[in-house]
Amino acid sequence: MEKKKFPEAAEVKNYSYPEDEIDLADYLRIIWRRKRLIIFGTLICGFAAGIVTFLMPKIYEVSSVIEPGIIGFNKEGSFMYVDSPVNIKEKINKVAYNREIQKVLHLGPKVEIKFKATVGREAKAIKITSQWKEKDINTGIKATEKLLEFLGDDYRKIVENKRNNDDKQIKMQRNRIKELEEEIKLLKAACENTKQRKEELLKEAEKVRENTREIVRRENEILKKENLNKELFLLLYSNTIQQNIAYFNQLNDQLYNLGRREKEAENKIEKLRKDIDDINIQINLLNREKELISGIKVIQEPRVSLHPVKPKKKLNILISLILGLFSMIFLAFFLEYLRESKNKIFAR
């Protein structure tokens, strides 16, 4: 009895992978076969980049730090600045200053001026930087100094106007103090006159009181006598006493009015003195504000970096090595592809 054949098994046994399919080991074998090309090619790229980097001119950074000036206080008591750091930064980053500086310093078209301003997140400081070749460092310092000078000129008018306005305010407040002091002098003089008048009225009232007492005493003495028309006498004396009492009341009313007027004058003097104290406080604040008023503040004068900022030799060599490595690997696979293609052509 014949054994049955299983064609499916035969098909599986005779199955082979396509020739174009390459696994990871094949890639590694290609890299190992071309290792000299990859290593030496990468080193040559790094060496070439190093030579080019060392031949490139050294670039130094000239930097300076400024702050916007203070021109006063707001209602909350915080500082008011001549301009915001962002606005100053935008003015510096524009090319208008660069052209003016190039004209003033008589720089040729080959010398390029380009300032870059940056603002810190929290601080008001503005950092100004520019990059210059080693031979142009002095020019960079002069250009930065000119930039600071131009910035100061732009904001000087605002500062001067603020100072003049404060001077006017101080002068007005001092004139107001003089007016109030004159008013206080007049009120004091009026108080003195009132006091003198009160003393006179008190003396007059005392005289009326003594006169009334004397009349009453004489009335008692006369009433003791006989053969006297007492009714007529009492009428005359009572009229005199009533007149004295009326006059005494009149004097008391005058004294009361004078006392009220004196109290009002004293209260007004006290109020005027408080007003003078308030004005003096305002003058002190204005004087303090004047002392703080300033244009652009230079926190750090222009200075040159200790080391070149360009070219970055280590970084350039590292990048060239990485790029060279990938390029050589690609070249290795390309050469391997050409070799395989050549072998297929000759095999046919």
**209: pLDDT confidence band, cut at 50, 70 and 90?**
confident
- Tens digit of each residue's pLDDT (9 = 90 or more) over 46-68: 888 888 888 888 889 999 999 98
Residues 319 and 227 in one domain: no
- How would you label 56-90 residue by residue, b for 16+ Cβ within 10 Å and e otherwise? eeebbbbbbbbbbbbbbeeeeeeeebbbebeebbe
**237: pLDDT confidence band, cut at 50, 70 and 90?**
low
Q: Is residue 8 part of a domain?
A: no
| 10: pLDDT strictly greater than 50 | no
| 265: pLDDT strictly greater than 80 | yes
Confidence (pLDDT) at 79: 79
Residues 319 and 274 in one domain: no
> How far is residue 52's CA from residue 45's CA, in Å, rounded to a whole number?
11
Q: Is residue 187 part of a domain?
A: yes
Confidence (pLDDT) at 179: 94
Q: Is residue 240 part of a domain?
A: yes
Residues 72 and 52 in one domain: no
- Tens digit of each residue's pLDDT (9 = 90 or more) over 218-235: 666 665 655 555 555 556
Residues 193 and 290 in one domain: yes
| 175: pLDDT strictly greater than 90 | yes
Expressed as residue numbers, the domain containing 192 is 60-304
**273: pLDDT confidence band, cut at 50, 70 and 90?**
very high
Confidence (pLDDT) at 16: 46
Q: Is residue 340 part of a domain?
A: no
Residues 173 and 247 in one domain: yes
Total structural domains within the chain: 2
Residues 178 and 289 in one domain: yes
> How far is residue 83's CA from residue 67's CA, in Å, rounded to a whole number?
10
CATH number of the domain encompassing residue 296 = 1.10.287.620
Mean pLDDT of the region 264-282: 93
For residues 194 and 262, the answer to whether their CB atoms sit within 8 Å is yes
Residues 106 and 31 in one domain: no
**181: pLDDT confidence band, cut at 50, 70 and 90?**
very high
**170: pLDDT confidence band, cut at 50, 70 and 90?**
very high
Name the one residue in this structure whose structure tokens are 């002091």.
181
Give pTM, 2 decimals: 0.59
Percent of the chain whose predicted confidence (pLDDT) is above 90 = 21
